[in-house]
Amino acid sequence: MSVPLSWYLLLSAVLFALGVVGFLIKRNLITVFMSIELMLNAVNLSFVTFAHQWHAVKGQIFVFFVMMVAAAEAAVGLAIIIAVFRARATLAVDRIDLMKL
Amino acid sequence: MHLILFIVFAVFCLAGAVNLLLQTHPINSALSLIVVMTSLAVLYLLLGAEFLAAAQVIVYAGAIMVLFTFVVMLLNAGREERTLGSRAATVVGFPAVVALLAVLATVILHTPSLAGAVFGDNLSNEPGKTNLDQLSTVLFTKLLLPFEVTSVLILIAILGAVALARHDDGERAAGE
């Protein structure tokens, strides 16, 4: 029994869309950051699917590098969140509006 | 078997992602994100990417999510307040998401050459050559320089995180 690869790609597209929706509706800085991680994961799934389709090792290597960069990005991003919380004592994105016009 | 596993873990993935959006407490969102990432690891396994499945569990579900829950607890983040959200999000954002999803789904469903995923379909079907063999051969010969540069990137990220998250008192003490 085989699964069409388009189902994997559709799942990846839906996960990405859910990540974007989360980015738009969530009002907590940490949850917004989690939605970004969700989008990264969705794209990784389509990389792995295409690597499977074309028997190309490059796709999997790309996912490996994305994971390492995501680890670095998560560390720096969370450090920035801690710094923002220290400066403004809130995590609500509506109240962090110093640069808003 | 493949179909059943795919459906079960795809449903887990979507349920986790939807739950991430519906929960108001960040710690619940973090836990549902762990569900999403672990189910994605199983899907990688179904697609014949064993190493990436292991790395997904260790790096994403392990290290990154521990960092997230640690920060949630450190900052004592409570329930988020429901607000109306920004007007730009409702006017531009949601139609854009719907359009993006529609375009992607149309393209994916009209691609004729996509095969089916079956078990044991490796990157190269030579006997005795596993996926991990191929991955590591390319990673440590052709792409050795990017691999080493990434380790430098992680080192810089650690230093940057420490410098950013350091308390002001510590900064003053270091300056004196």
A100 band by pLDDT with thresholds 50, 70 and 90: confident
Tokens of A66: 């994305």
Residue B172 scores a pLDDT above 60:
no
Which stretch of DSSP H or E encloses residue B117? strand B116-117
Contact B162 A7 (CB under 8 A): no
Q: Which residues of A fall within a CB distance of 8 Å from B20?
A: 18, 22, 31, 34-35, 38
ipTM value > 0.85: yes
Which stretch of DSSP H or E encloses residue B116? strand B116-117
Q: Which residues of A fall within a CB distance of 8 Å from B101?
A: 13-14, 17
- The pLDDT value recorded for residue A90 is 84
Give B39-44 contacts, CB < 8 A, sequence gap 24+: B39/B9, B39/B10, B39/B12, B39/B13, B40/A41, B40/A44, B40/A45, B40/B13, B42/B5, B42/B9, B43/A8, B43/A11, B43/A45, B43/A48, B43/B6, B43/B9, B43/B10, B43/B13, B44/A45, B44/A48
- The pLDDT value recorded for residue A65 is 94
The more confident residue out of B149 and A91 is B149
Tokens of A92: 């609500």
Strand partners, B116: A4
Give the number of beta-carbon pairs within 8 Å between A and B.
Answer: 242
- The pLDDT value recorded for residue B176 is 47
Contact B55 A21 (CB under 8 A): no
- The pLDDT value recorded for residue A73 is 93
- The pLDDT value recorded for residue B171 is 53
- The pLDDT value recorded for residue B127 is 67
What mean pLDDT do residues B143-153 have?
Answer: 94
- The pLDDT value recorded for residue B122 is 66
CA distances from B31 to A36, A80, B20, B37, B38 (A): 15, 22, 8, 10, 11
Strand partners, A3: B117
Torsion B73-B76-B78-B83 (CA) sign: negative
Rounded percentage of chain B residues whose pLDDT exceeds 90: 53
Q: What is the pLDDT of residues B69-123, one digit of tens each?
A: 999 998 887 777 767 667 777 788 889 999 999 999 999 888 877 777 666 666 6
The more confident residue out of B58 and B116 is B58
Please state, in angstroms and rounded to a whole number, the distance separating the CA atoms of residues A82 and A71. Answer: 17
**Testing the interface with B: which of A20, A68, A73, A100 to mutate, by most B Cβ within 10 A?**
A68
* Contact between residue A11 and residue A75 where contact means Cβ atoms under 8 Å apart: no
Q: Which amino acid is at A46?
A: S
Q: What is the pLDDT of residues A22-69, one digit of tens each?
A: 998 888 899 999 999 999 999 999 999 999 888 888 889 999 999 999
- The pLDDT value recorded for residue B38 is 95
Please state, in angstroms and rounded to a whole number, the distance separating the CA atoms of residues B58 and B128. Answer: 27
Tokens of A8: 């994997």
B149 band by pLDDT with thresholds 50, 70 and 90: very high
What mean pLDDT do residues B52-75 have?
Answer: 92
Please state, in angstroms and rounded to a whole number, the distance separating the CA atoms of residues B81 and B113. Answer: 47
Place of tokens 């739950």: B19
Contact A37 B33 (CB under 8 A): yes
